[in-house]
Structure 1
């Protein structure tokens, strides 16, 4: 089995319109050709987190049954992409009309607002059933921040050109995959959570088969793999960022989302029980 557990495509009468709308959003963005810089990637970080919140609310059964499948995997990615893409388009036109200093400011502000509001809603739902617990989420975020700082310092010292070229986009990639790794390790080793992605589960099981598992658990191997993956990708993308920064940073933003989305999802699940 390759696909993660819970992977369910929406029915055709929901999937069809979503794909049409998403295609329209992407086509308009293609025509507008907005620049993609470090600040653009950073502006989309709240939207990556927002998608995680939508999926957590699905886990909490907060949606009507008729549309709930849209917020499972992979429907939630499509919905998030549509809303975030629409926000980018609006930001571009507002900037062109002189109503916003940059399109990125509008994207980042609206994304933060959506994320905060929906996260508060999820917390309220969990509070009502007595499952709110902030301890492990705080630990996961703090540890991820420290590990990211150490890794980025190492990249800056040993492969300075990679760190300098990828910039804040690289930081987002490293932090996203670090958070995914650390939160998954905590969930698997400490909280007894199960891993839904088959490949990740294999790595975790391999870590638990090592002699060190008795003392430090097996999640450290997964964290190490995620960090190595992020570092290798940044190294491979260095020349691409120099030659085609718009396309390269767009792909790196997607790479960051693949890590940050699941990582925030884990943290929110810890938070709401």
Structure 2
């Protein structure tokens, strides 16, 4: 079932039976979280970062490898895979919070350690599976370059925005994750477009890249540089706009920033893994 072309190309919905299972599971996890009422801290939100990688990596498997005989394959399509992973991560969160674990420290036992470590283990398994299925034809050089450049860009923007707008310091580690996620998405997309010859599936991103390709700078800088600038500017703007909200309503503010971070980190991690195994 194709989705309207507001979403990236290739977005589909699974068969009705899978949708029913997914909706019921999501409702169950949402109800459990509502009853438990877990405390939301910046560390709790950051601990979901590995789960964002899990979702994007599962989608890479769905795209690249033949898993037609795999019963759970429909749960790996986009955007379904992100809801599927959210159900699993939410269940882990609800269980750890219901056990009375603290939410304000990394040292185990705690909610951030349980959520983060479980997501990290699953991420290693999924990424390792994808790499193993593609070995020995792996191309990690340019994805590695993209990762390094993204980290440098994110660090520069993060330091600059905290100095220029001190109020953004209240966003804590979630703010840093937000900047890193969007830097990774922007830089990896630029490398994919200008170096590796990949196309852009998102219509909004594609419009920015196509516009950059018409500028005089295209012959020197390529078509992806403007997308990097836009992503970093948007991430910085979000931190400035949400700083006061995070201060007044920390729980809701951190969750909102976490959602913004996921929109960048998910596609960015997807790009790195896809370019590594499909270049």
- Relative to the length of structure 1, the TM-score reads 0.94
Residue 126, structure 1, aligned to residue 131, structure 2: no
Q: 1:169 aligns with which of 156, 168, 174?
A: 174
In 2, distance between residues paired with 1:180 and 1:24? 32
Match runs of 1:1-273 below 5 Å: 1-65=5-69, 66-96=71-101, 101-127=109-135, 130-162=136-168, 164-273=169-278
The structure 1 segments of at least 4 consecutive aligned residues displaced by more than 3 Å after TM superposition are 64-67, 93-97
| Corresponding pairs, count | 268
In 1, distance between residues paired with 2:110 and 2:55? 23
Q: Residue 105 of structure 2 aligns with which residue?
A: none
Give structure 1 stretches of 5+ with no counterpart: none
Q: Tell me how far 1:62 sits from its aligned partner.
A: 4.6
**Higher mean displacement: 30-39 or 202-211:** 30-39
> What RMSD, in angstroms, separates the aligned Cα atoms of the two structures?
1.4
In 2, distance between residues paired with 1:145 and 1:3? 27
CA offsets, 1:193-223, max 9 Å, x none? 0100011000001111110110110111000
In 2, distance between residues paired with 1:58 and 1:94? 35
CA offsets, 1:125-177, max 9 Å, x none? 010xx421110111011101100111011112211111x11111100000000
SS at match of 2:193: helix
Q: Tell me how far 1:234 sits from its aligned partner.
A: 1.0
Q: Tell me how far 1:36 sits from its aligned partner.
A: 1.4
Contact 2:38 2:94 in 1 (8 A): no
CA offsets, 1:22-73, max 9 Å, x none? 1110121122111111111221110001111110111123534454222111
SS at match of 1:188: helix
Contact 2:75 2:81 in 1 (8 A): yes
SS at match of 2:65: coil
